[in-house]
Amino acid sequence: MKNRMLATAALVSALAVGTSALADDYIIDSQGAHASINFKIKHLGYSWLTGRFDTFGGQFNFDPSNPAGSKIVVDIDTASVNSNHAERDKHLRSADFLNVDEFPDAKFESTSIEVTGDDTGVIKGDLTLHGVTRPIAIDAEYIGGGDDPWGGFRQGFAGTTELKLADFGIDYDLGPASRTVELELHVEGIRQ
């Protein structure tokens, strides 16, 4: 039970950037490809179109003694959208969708974390996408933490959320079955 309580505290606090003197700072390991932001959306309601954002970064803070003061910040280069199809990616970058010329960045900044189980929680925060900022909730899972083979220390998490395109001013008509994007997030941080 004690280990579960510690894991819960780790989930809550490791997903954030706080100011506590006991907190450890982590940088998301997107350079080492140990983190990913993946998406899927139904294609015309018949199948799933999947992809990812190749360029992003961020940080969080681990503070088990003050989870309410914790925070996570992630910045995404929207032009790095990659659905493994060059022509489709060109369309996704256009004004019909992400409009990367006008909105080259997306950003998530947490506002609160709610523990829902031994290794689970809900991260609430503000997502700015396509020039629109809206609150979202991410269902999160603490995966684990510990020493790595290179002398560092890491913490890892996973999360999922859904976004309605229209909520962010993206109203290109793909049919009613293709208006919600599902995001799958994998975050591994290296203690600084």
Nearest alpha-carbon partner for 72 in 14, 150, 33: 14
Residue type, 10: A
Give 8-26 as a DSSP string: HHHHHHHTB----TT-EEE
How far is the C-alpha of 110 from the C-alpha of 122, rounded, in Å? 10
Average pLDDT of the chain is: 86
Which pLDDT tens digit goes with each residue over 80-125? 999 999 999 999 999 999 999 999 999 999 999 988 888 888 999 9
Residue closest to 29 by CA, chosen among 189, 146, 192, 142: 189
- Regarding predicted confidence, which is higher, 28 or 175? 28
The pLDDT assigned to 15 comes to 46
Region 127-141: what's the mean pLDDT? 97
Beta strands 81-82 and 105-115, pairing class = unpaired
Over 70: is that where the pLDDT of 14 sits? no
What is the predicted pLDDT for the residue at 119? 84
pLDDT digits (tens, 9 = 90+) for 166-190: 999 998 877 776 889 999 999 999 9
Assign 4 a pLDDT band (cuts: 50, 70, 90).
Answer: very low
Q: Could you tell me the pLDDT band of residue 64, with boundaries at 50, 70 and 90?
A: low
State mean pLDDT over 142-153: 92
> What is the pTM for the complete model shown?
0.84
What domains can be seen in the chain, in order of their start residue?
Answer: 2-191 (2.40.128.110)
- Give the pLDDT of residue 8: 43
Least Cα distance to 93 among 80, 108, 106, 76 occurs for: 80
* Residue 56 burial (10 A CB sphere; 0-12, 13-18, 19+): buried
